[in-house]
Structure 1
Amino acid sequence: MTPRPQEWHLQIATTPYLISTSPAKLDHAFINASFAHKDMYWAKPLPADTLALMLQHSLTLGLYKHRPAEPSSPRTPSPTLEQRDPMGEKWQQIGLARFATDHVSFAYLSDVYIASEHRAAGLGAWLVRCCGEVLDGMPFLRRAMLMASEGVGEAYYGKVLGMEDVHGQDAGLVCMSRRGPGSALGESGH
């Protein structure tokens, strides 16, 4: 059973922002465009049905910016809410964070991304703190994991989420991985 969607709200100056775990709000075109961005070097766009399957089996925090209503022309009838936005809301997705999880004992954080034009406002830190709240809400969580770049990424996720190198947690524990045929990773080892 998938948990109920959660929401967090933030206002910066006059602009409202929303983080939601509701799968219905996700903009698949935005997510695939994000996967194509050079800053998400570990990902690549997926076929629509494959992306939908991945998202169906993930817990995704979508980050949205409020879109002001467009003024209607007196000569043009006002579109219905559903015509303006199929989700019935005026939100534009500008970021995401995705957990591969069983919603109980394990969570792997991946695909943390904010569109470049929205990065200087502190939205990324807010998104990651919300990820921490999701983890804190899993009382039977055994382990949360992520992969981060050495240095800045490692220090950041250590500070904000309490993550640490697996070697520092459990003596004798080895973290292992295997790249799949769909891996977009290069030879650099990231």
Structure 2
Amino acid sequence: MPHESLDNLSWRREDDRGAYLVTTQPSQLDHAFINRAFASDDMAWARPLPPDQITTMLAHSTTLGLYHTPPPAPPPTTASSPSSPRTPSPTTASPSPPPRAPPTQIGLARFVTDHVTLAYLTDVYILPAYRHHGLGKWLVACGQDVMKQLPAMRRAMLLASPGVGTAFYSRELGMWDVGEERASRVVMTRKAYGGGGA
């Protein structure tokens, strides 16, 4: 499967708070937003990176950006325009709806992947103001769609916090603690070599 196919996936939804977009298109990513997310206490495993390192990291990842477009503002009422709607006459042209604001990035989820056999999910983040509206579940479900695109996937992996994080990814992605495979598998890790990240 060509690399480009993972970089051109999109999902959309809309509610009374506006329109939402998840896309893997790299050109949509807001590098400044991602660095602010890395600086937040909610991403204790990350830290801000220099611009060239952000660019390199994203170029070697499949990243789902989550974007919000607020609903258009209703047109202002005036003394000559009633507050209750009227049925326009057949000869009256309907005014065009006000334009939407451009979408702004409010979240992300990043895969480190070879695009064929392995996907490591990391950096799942949504701005606090947009949490508790089902967007996290939706973002992760979009991530599951990405994993389904890998033609010979052997394993998907992530690091989760015990308790809430483990329960969330178990429920939403069918993940399990690799400790359950301890008879045949051991996950090994090492943190940064000198001067590296957290």
Q: Same fold (TM over 0.5)?
A: yes
Q: Which residue pairs with 1:110 in the alignment?
A: 122
Confirm whether residue 183 of structure 1 aligns to residue 197 of structure 2: yes
Q: Which residue pairs with 2:12 in the alignment?
A: 9
TM-score, normalised to structure 2's length?
A: 0.79
Q: Distance in 2 between matches of 1:141 and 1:20?
A: 21
Aligned length: 166
Q: Distance in 1 between matches of 2:138 and 2:191?
A: 30
In structure 2, runs of 5+ residues without a counterpart are 74-100
Confirm whether residue 22 of structure 1 aligns to residue 25 of structure 2: yes
Q: CA deviation at 1:13?
A: 1.4
Confirm whether residue 155 of structure 1 aligns to residue 163 of structure 2: no
Q: Distance in 2 between matches of 1:127 and 1:170?
A: 30
The Cα offsets for residues 10-35 of structure 1, whole Å up to 9 and x where unpaired, read as 11215100000000000000000000
Confirm whether residue 47 of structure 1 aligns to residue 54 of structure 2: no
Distance change (3 Å), C-alpha of 1:3 and 1:169: farther
Q: Quick check: 165-174 or 25-34, which moved more?
A: 165-174
Q: Distance in 2 between matches of 1:101 and 1:22?
A: 16
Q: Distance in 1 between matches of 2:25 and 2:130?
A: 21
Q: Which residue pairs with 1:135 in the alignment?
A: 147
Letter in 2 for 1:16: A
In structure 1, runs of 5+ residues without a counterpart are 71-88, 185-190
SS across alignment from 1:138: coil
2:64 aligns with one of 53, 61, 64: 61
1:168 aligns with one of 180, 186, 191: 180
Q: Distance in 2 between matches of 1:7 and 1:24?
A: 13
Q: Please tell me the root mean square deviation across aligned C-alpha atoms, in Å.
A: 1.7
TM-score, normalised to structure 1's length?
A: 0.82
Q: CA deviation at 1:91?
A: 1.1
Q: CA deviation at 1:167?
A: 2.2
Letter in 1 for 2:130: H
